[in-house]
A = this chain, B = another copy of it.
């Protein structure tokens, strides 16, 4: 997840040392693996690949040490897999003595099309600082160049900006020290008797693996933050694959320890240097703290965690009361937006109502576990919320949930209402069948996050074949376009579209897109 900017520097935050100590207790040990490149590649025009950029082997990796590079020469290493880690390479000079420094430009790319763009041309709203490129001057050779920063990439392009006319350089031993808090070899790998689904599962597993670092990051290339909405989905996928519950606990404690004084939970926290809650708040993301906590305790119950975190979940719920009328209607607030999806082109009122119901049901479960007498009040509020949804938001004539003053019918509303189980199973089945008929093919949705909820709604409504078909069409399409890991954004109608105007800042390994791992376990196994 990453979203347009909110600036709220006046907000006062709690900083609960007891909860932060628990977050530290669950800090993972990072596992390092040495990765050697597979081969040297060159870019080729390939209309079947993203942005028409494909790759082709140019040399074996053994040949690299025999090649020498002078001014403007370059080569691309293919690591053979997506890596999150640090890069190193040995460099020597050949020819006359080194009469000038060596200047290198090193670029890292998750997808080949990133190399098509020039960072100087980028003028988007996301920080240019995310470009994974370095300009490096080396005063003396030979050197074991070890770049100190962490990058997220499969491909490394090294360009010799200049040597001098008297000498050139040779490269050897390119190596990546890749990192994750989980070991891919230890993941659960189910058998689906369907090669395509197995590949879809594997790429999801790769994505999750790369995003599981010191916390669940949204994207290891860019943002690198712990987002609550993304965490919820990553945690689910994690339970069925790596099953590292400690990392989920760590993340929940981080959110819990640094809530705003008014009870709101930040949409994300920074953990790169010190722990800092972001001044960004979103209605649905705040509620997903409840959801993530309930999912965790269902997967692995802990009285200690319930005792520590239920009060935080409850406080978030109490804060949200101002947006729920006595009639059970959820009111959108401009200053406390409901995300649902990146798109701003559909009405989100009914989605917000559904998400509120979805998470209240989980809160009620938690209240039961905590033996909280408020459970009764929550149940009564749930009835009102559901009743409002059924009576005021479901248009019986049209057979769809409507949203907002213009009574808009959109896919997000139907999907979320199905997930919230406001209607009964039979009605849900009909609703998704009708959605499939009238609201498909999906248009204008660019996030795997929203596609996930639609796909889950199909499964949930008993439309397993349609869910699998959509999964193959969406996640499978990314694979056919060259994905090793799933992307932050992908709109099948315009696959080459970058939300930032330059693929160099796209995140092609993004946590919220890993969910086939969970969906396939949950609904197929």
Question: What residues of chain A have their CB less than 8 Å away from a CB belonging to chain B?
Answer: 5, 7-9, 71, 95-103, 125-131, 134-135, 137, 139-141, 149, 161-166, 223, 225, 270, 272-273, 276-279
Whether B272 and A162, one on each chain, are in contact in the complex, defined by CB atoms closer than 8 angstroms, is no
Chain B residues contacting A135 (CB-CB under 8 Å) are: 134-135
A270/B166 contact (C-beta < 8 A), A128-B103, A135-B134, A149-B139 known: no
Report how far A126 CA is from B165 CA in the complex, Å. 8
Q: Could you say which residues of chain B place their CB within 8 Å of the CB of A5? A: 164-166
Q: Report the minimal beta-carbon distance from A299 to chain B, rounded to whole angstroms.
A: 31
Please determine whether B97 and A276 come into contact, CB atoms closer than 8 angstroms. Answer: yes
Residues of chain B lying within 8 A (CB to CB) of residue A276: 97
Q: CB-CB < 8 A to A137: which residues of B?
A: 129, 134, 149
Q: Which of B97, B127, B131 contacts A163 (CB 8 A)?
A: B127
Q: Shortest CB–CB separation between residue A37 and chain B, in angstroms?
A: 23
A100 contact from B129, B134, B162, B277, Cβ within 8 A: B129
Q: Are B97 and A278 in contact (CB under 8 A)?
A: yes
| Copies of chain A in the complex | 2
Could you list some 30 contacts between A and B, CB below 8 A?
A7-B95, A7-B165, A7-B166, A9-B95, A9-B96, A97-B270, A97-B276, A97-B278, A97-B279, A98-B270, A98-B273, A99-B127, A99-B223, A99-B278, A100-B126, A101-B127, A101-B129, A101-B130, A103-B128, A103-B129, A103-B131, A126-B164, A127-B162, A127-B164, A128-B161, A129-B163, A129-B164, A134-B135, A135-B135, A140-B273
New A-B pairs, 12, CB < 8 Å, besides A99-B278, A103-B128:
A7-B95, A7-B166, A9-B95, A97-B270, A100-B126, A101-B127, A102-B129, A103-B131, A127-B163, A139-B272, A140-B273, A141-B273
Point out the residues of chain B lying under 8 angstroms from A102, CB to CB: 129
Contacts of A127 in B (CB 8 A): 99-101, 103, 162-164
Tell me if A129 and B162 are in contact (CB < 8 A): yes
A277 to B97, CA, bound (A): 8
Q: Which residue of B lies closest to A273 (CB)?
A: B140
Cα A97 to Cα B164 in complex, Å, equals 43
